[in-house]
Structure 1
Amino acid sequence: MERFGTLSFGHYGPLGGGRILTAGDSMLQAIDLAQGMDDLGADGIYFRVHHFARQQSSPMPLLAAIAARTRRIEMGTGVIDMRYENPLYLAEEAAAVDLISGGRLALGVSRGSPESVVRGYEAFGYTGGQDPRGADIARAHFDLFLRAIEGEGLAERDPHSPFGGGTGQQMIEPHSPGLRSRVWWGAGNRDTAEWAGRIGVNLMSSTLLTEADGTPFDELQAQQIDAFRAAWREAGHPGTPRVSVSRSIFPITTAEDAMYFGGTQGGDQIGVIDGMRSTFGKTYAAEPDVLVEQLLDDAAVRSADTLMLTIPSQLGVEFNLRIVESFATHVAPALGWRGARV
């Protein structure tokens, strides 16, 4: 494990006892959390993106604000649902954030996770897909997005324009030359992981896998990672791709930790999501020395270079910073972490 960070689902709404976490609270706390994590030396902070739900839905303003308040931490998404995106507008926004941050954007995208509405992307104007889950729309949008951030000319210049004119094809602006190498595809099975390797983007392995043959979750995920890396090599891409996995990990070091997370650790779970039989990974909650042993035994954690801790964002900035600090102090070094990269 070379890097670790947090993955926030960004939930807001009623908290019980008459307390309500507003959308504004959620975003402002996310900025404060990022600043605190930057000071602590964590490597990254990443956000889920969900539409029609009380969660983060428009990450670019949030990431731009984080870029302005931090110095070195990587920031990104896990993942943006490409079914909902205008590819060229996303390319402009992503390039702008990447430039503002000095190349610290890690943009995770995919077909997206199951929704709280029926084909919500159609309400955004993206219709005509043949796949009932919109995978074809997501892939088409992603293809155009990649072409845009690679600098391909996508619109014919107007030779009579008073704003420069010329001939040939014009690429989108702004353009961030290094952004293409910091794009990740969120894969839920081996086929999509191999596809990501073939086209040469990094891999974000999902918190669930649409496979359930009795193989433990971590081993299924490690097989997926191996398939991705093999496809990358076979395609002849230069360099080494990055791979991330996410886990719910809670070091128990105080009575408050034990109250919240004691007894929550369990095994893998099998369920049906989006009409597919799937495997869900377990929660790790224990004293730090026990966590180290368990995580060293996790095949996918051993294989990935980046570990994302799914955090309970509703519990506030101070609580989550304590989780991050406990992990960085008592667990991460035993997994191979040597401190944040500058």
Structure 2
Amino acid sequence: MPVAGQPLRRMGFLTIGLFDADDPAAGHETTLQIIELGERLGFDSAWLRHRHLQFGISSPVAVLAAASQRTRRIELGTAVTPLGWENPLRVAEDWATVDVLSGGRLNPGFSVGPPMNYERVRGALYPDTGDVEDFTTERVARLLRLVRGEPASDFRGRQGFEEFSERVQPHSPGLAGRLWYGAASRKSARWAGEQGLNLLTSSVVKVESGAEDPDAPVDFAEVQRASIRAFRAAHPDGDAARVSQGLVVIPTDSATAEQRARYAAYVEARTPRTASPQGPARMLFARDLIGTSEEVAEQLHAHAGFQEVDEVAFALPFSFEPDDYVQILTDMATRLGPALGWRPTG
């Protein structure tokens, strides 16, 4: 577990990769350019969100395959791939392939549960098996076995002119150690620890029922810290188990007056949802952090969740322009990161 006040060891960023439906190539190219910029600025990692039937990246693994050929050092991750949309055998093949192409830089993050809006997409996604698909952690267990190299078939050998393997090919031995689970609750964080996975925390946590008075104020940072500690308590590596935090962070040091005004309006519009847990699942959103790097660093150092980690993947706001991302990433790398004790990777 990091010691309070110790330097930030690893800094990455996360983007949704928005695009215009009438010109999707331009948006995807912008995402690749942002990843290239991240490498030049010395970021340790770049992560893509997974968006189905939306105007954000629907196939992060394909985009990261392209990014792997335009970068040489920066690690590439998904945060997160919802496994309810995936066949574990096929996604294991895709991840292993991109990991090989990238030279061992892929960090797949994933989550479990039914696909979003499942009743609306079931007919297209699982027309014949929709009622019997297993969206529990057993789907994850299948994936883990396959990535770790356990048999996927009972046959190995030659058929005619073709050679067959009993396990997923290509096999990338280091990939299993770079699998991340996106957990919002203590229960799921504890489960991830028991599986020996790495933990992704984000700007959303689940306030579990019975943990406190439903009407009492809830502190996001304290809830997040409890989940991180539950994860490490269950993990074989204990306090050394890896956790990455993913808050929305907007440094404004080099922003123009127009940018600062837009950023402030964005944050103001999103702030009401952070006042209390939302919906039956009691999901609680973190406040976006905005201000100069010095101001943001001060807020982070006081954040109980941040105090538990030594690596982050700051989330870029969804709806900003490419020039905004350039400004934000540049300020992160040249001002905020150093204020947190981080050093860029050459």
How far off is 1:256 after superposition? 3.3
- Partners of 1:209 and 1:305 in 2: CA distance: 19
Give the match for residue 245 of structure 2. 245
Is the Cα contact below 8 Å between 2:41 and 2:344 reproduced in 1?
A: no
Is the Cα contact below 8 Å between 2:294 and 2:339 reproduced in 1?
A: no
Give the match for residue 295 of structure 1. 300
Tell me which of 180, 184, 189 is aligned to 1:188: 184
Give the match for residue 141 of structure 1. 139
User: Identity percentage over the alignment?
Assistant: 31
Give the match for residue 322 of structure 2. 317
Q: Is 1:67–2:63 an aligned residue pair?
A: no
How far off is 1:21 after superposition? 6.9
- Partners of 1:105 and 1:85 in 2: CA distance: 18
Which amino acid letter does the alignment assign opposite residue 305 of structure 2? A
Which amino acid letter does the alignment assign opposite residue 137 of structure 1? F
Give the total of aligned pairs: 324
The unaligned stretches of length 5 or more in structure 2 are: 1-7
Per residue, is there more strand in 1 or in 2? 1
Is the Cα contact below 8 Å between 1:81 and 1:112 reproduced in 2?
A: yes
Give the match for residue 260 of structure 2. 258
- Partners of 1:159 and 1:288 in 2: CA distance: 59
Is the Cα contact below 8 Å between 1:271 and 1:277 reproduced in 2?
A: yes
Deviations 1:211-233, CA, capped at 9 Å, x for gaps: 1643311111011001100100x
TM-score, normalised on structure 2?
A: 0.85
- Partners of 2:16 and 2:114 in 1: CA distance: 12
TM-score, normalised on structure 1?
A: 0.86
How far off is 1:318 after superposition? 3.3
Is the Cα contact below 8 Å between 1:52 and 1:117 reproduced in 2?
A: no
Residues 295-304 or 328-337, more deviating? 328-337
Tell me which of 321, 330, 333 is aligned to 2:338: 333
For the residue of structure 1 that corresponds to 2:344, the secondary structure is coil
How far off is 1:138 after superposition? 4.7
Counting only pairs closer than 5 Å after superposition, residues 168-187 of structure 1 correspond to structure 2 as 170-187=166-183
- Partners of 1:176 and 1:95 in 2: CA distance: 6
Backbone CA RMSD of aligned residues: 2.5
Is the Cα contact below 8 Å between 1:67 and 1:101 reproduced in 2?
A: yes
Which amino acid letter does the alignment assign opposite residue 71 of structure 1? R
Deviations 1:32-71, CA, capped at 9 Å, x for gaps: 1111111111111111112122221111110000000001
| Alignment CA distance shift 1:6-1:158 (3 Å) | closer
- Partners of 1:113 and 1:260 in 2: CA distance: 35
| Alignment CA distance shift 1:200-1:109 (3 Å) | same
Which amino acid letter does the alignment assign opposite residue 275 of structure 2? Q
| Alignment CA distance shift 1:170-1:28 (3 Å) | same
Q: Is 1:24–2:20 an aligned residue pair?
A: no
- Partners of 2:29 and 2:114 in 1: CA distance: 25
Give the match for residue 43 of structure 2. 42
- Partners of 1:119 and 1:184 in 2: CA distance: 28
- Partners of 1:252 and 1:112 in 2: CA distance: 37
| Alignment CA distance shift 1:102-1:271 (3 Å) | same
| Alignment CA distance shift 1:116-1:26 (3 Å) | farther
